[in-house]
Amino acid sequence: MRLIGLTGGIATGKSTFAAALRELGAAVIDADALAREAVRRGSAALEEIAHAFGPEVVGADGELDRRRMAELVFADPAVRARLEAITHPAVRRAMERETQRLAEAGHALAFYDVPLLYEVGLDRALDCVVLVYAPPEVQRARLMARDGLSPADAEARLAAQMPIDEKAARADVVVSNQGSLAELRAKAAPLLAALRAGLGRRLPNASPARY
């Protein structure tokens, strides 16, 4: 089974594009869903997080207080790195199990939807990488409108990820999202057809395929 990376940046439209792919029958493994499962109440990872960052990161319901954890992560890159060192191995194991399940079910191709794909070096383990792209100024405006953030807070969240233009320079396929969501969703079918027909890694020094 070919495993295709699907990534983007905050507020670029990756989740919308992933949903469009699912509606077309594509298998999509959601790294965020795997991450939530990895730190569920009673898990070894959550126990380790509480030990590392203090009991206040666990809510009264015994689940991870994601808002509190996000505040700590965005304020300090070292905290983010420490959290990732706990969660990423558990997520990777879960991904391997899900990949095996899909392959055994007969899927010839699946997408691995990972927000921080390049940041954690997963691109080397995938057949190719598809990036959903929006310019930084569009990301910033969408983020402020969507989450009610100040310009400074929006900028801090963008700074916590690799710049979107750097990701675009590394991706094999770039899907532009500067218009409507309907326009973005319409790009899913032709991309899926191209991938099923063999579209993969771009050649050295070649430009990414664009949709």
pTM of the full predicted structure?
Answer: 0.86
- Lowest mean pLDDT across 25-39, 80-94, 183-197: 80-94
Structure tokens at 96: 């391997």
Question: What does the pLDDT read at residue 138?
Answer: 95
d(CA 193, CA 200): 12
30 confidence band (pLDDT: 50, 70, 90) = very high
**Domains and their CATH numbers in the chain:** 2-210 (3.40.50.300)
200 confidence band (pLDDT: 50, 70, 90) = very high
d(CA 24, CA 188): 8
pLDDT exceeds cutoff 90 at 119: no
Average pLDDT over residues 178-207: 96
How does the average pLDDT of the chain come out, rounded? 94
Question: What does the pLDDT read at residue 48?
Answer: 95
210 confidence band (pLDDT: 50, 70, 90) = very high
Average pLDDT over residues 57-80: 91
Question: What does the pLDDT read at residue 26?
Answer: 97
- Lowest mean pLDDT across 32-41, 67-76, 162-171: 67-76
Question: What does the pLDDT read at residue 77?
Answer: 86
The residue type found at 107 is H
d(CA 60, CA 6): 34
Average pLDDT over residues 165-174: 97
